[in-house]
Amino acid sequence: MVSLICLMFEITSEGLSRHHLRRPLTAERGVSAVNGSVFVVVSILQDDINTSMMEAETNRNNNSNTSDRSFENLSAKRKDVAGSSQDVSESKRSKISIDLRDEITTAGEKVKRALLPFCDVPYEDQLRRKASDVRDAMVKFSWEVHRTCPKWRNWLKEQMKNHSGVLCEIEKIRPSPVLNAYRNKSEFTIASSSNGTKERIVGFRVGSYRDGSSVVGEPYACDNLPDSMKLIAKVFQQYVRQSQYDVYNDQSHDGHWRQLIVRTSSQNDIMIIPVFYAQFLSDDEVDAEKAAMTEYFSDGDGVQCGVTSLYFRCLSNRLGSCRQHAVNEHLWGKKCITEVLLELSFHIYPDTFFSFNNPAAALLYTMVGDLCLEEPNNIVFNICCSTGTVALSLAKRVKSVVAVDMWAANIEEAKKNAELNNVTNVVFHHAKAEEVTNQLDRWLKGQSAVAVLDSPCAEMQSKVIYALRRCHFIHRVIYISCNPVAAIQNFTDLMRPKSQTMKGKAFYPVKAIPVDLSPHTKLCVMVVMFKRRRFHTDMMC
């Protein structure tokens, strides 16, 4: 492998000057601005590094009067390097690149474009791109079935012929009812500015330390955030800047302020959870900080934010992960916020899983309910039910719901939400899905069921799919995927012919429906409905 070395040149009014060698890169290049200067990053082969350094030094000494002459010398150097490498194989030729942008954007603008890559794209074009991505995923799924399920190839050939190259119908993408200010949860990073001022910033990081990026920008340009959330970020930034405690540093693991989690609801409730590393502070010092924060948001400058619920997440292990050692301590206000979805009320706590786009979630769950009703008197088996949003929204439309989740806290919240809404035809179980499918036959008492999978992860574990295959009372599967490409393995497992490993008759896809839950981003949810193969004609061999 040929390693690349990155030289950094500073373009100033005096000319082009070479700065210190940066860390080895593989194929990175670009331009950045620091303190008004423009830096051009040049990548060259390590074999030519000595020659290139001498040429660059000569160019700097001989052409320090004008930047135009510096660029001429740099162009000449590129030609020299290209000429000297003619006897080197194609894969080892010098790769020198200069990428001058028309304008250097601010950190806030970089944040917006990183988080919302479609921010300048008309919404109809966004939908077309997302629909195209879903179609690409279904094409990959089709060919994966062709590769792994030779028994279904005749059926697959006919399906792809009838559905323009994919194995089932793809319905028109469902747009989000709202395009801006739709996010009801954000996790802001608290860090020092990278512009040399070391100002404390509450915003979003572009990239990561692992990728060599430490840019943190304020979130005010992000159109997907409501104004209330932007105000909280600004006000808490003021609080952190006047704090005696520094921000947490991911590299040195020093400092204290790490993150600010904000949750809002359509009922004008606002919850904030600052994340703070205690490090070596005493309990009295931490308690004093909690008291100061409570005063700030209940009777100080923070009152303008309208916070209704204040928590504090204190991490004592300076090397521990944020989630692993998290304890959410309630400091002030209500212990939860309330959200309304499809005329149902849900209590939301700091760690509650809830859709970040409430109006689009209502559209999604209504559509899932419509799919469940395609056959009458169905019982729904909801896998990964979380706090009951899907199960409770379907309960009033189907005969009954059996819901499971492997996290006990989720099940406890789901039961409370059922009581809150007087829903009595849902049974929640704290268990893994594969552990309850054997009991499902007894619960169903011979009735057919539709399984609804809504995993917060990219894909379900294979053993969950195996368990669904074995449960012969499940006649249909509705799979809600936040990452269609990652879920292809699950889709394929549902379709594999019956075998010693894969018990039960196969399923086959009937339709796929893309739903946009995240405008201005590349994310798109896909719902796929599968039916159990009952007759020979269902999947022609």
Q: Residue 272 pairs with which residues in a beta bridge?
A: 262, 310
Question: How many CB atoms lie under 10 A from the CB of residue 433?
Answer: 26
SS3 236: helix
CB contact at 8 A, 39 and 19: yes
Q: Are 43 and 25 in contact (CB under 8 A)?
A: yes
Q: Which two tokens stand for residue 412?
A: 């406890």
Instruction: Tell me the three state secondary structure of residue 363.
Output: helix
Residues acting as catalytic residues: 482
Residue pair 256/277 in contact (Cβ under 8 Å)? The answer is yes
Q: What is the Cα–Cα distance from 456 to 162, expressed in whole angstroms?
A: 33
CA separation for the pair 412, 330 (Å, rounded): 19
- Cβ proximity of 339 and 352 under 8 Å: no
| DSSP state letters, 117-134 | TTTTS-HHHHHHHHHHHH
Is 454 annotated to bind a ligand? Reply is yes
Structural tokens at position 353: 């899983």
Rama region for 241: left / alpha / beta (φ>0; ψ in -120 to 50; rest):
alpha
Give CA–CA dist 525/527, Å, rounded: 7
Q: Is 405 a known ligand-binding residue? A: yes
* CB proximity list for 259: less than 8 A, separation 6 or greater: 187, 188, 189, 190, 274, 275, 322
Question: How many angstroms separate the CA atoms of 93 and 364, rounded?
Answer: 52
Measured distance CA(358)–CA(351) in Å, rounded? 17
**Secondary structure of residue 67 in the 3-state scheme:** helix
Residues annotated within a binding site for S-adenosyl-L-methionine: 405, 454
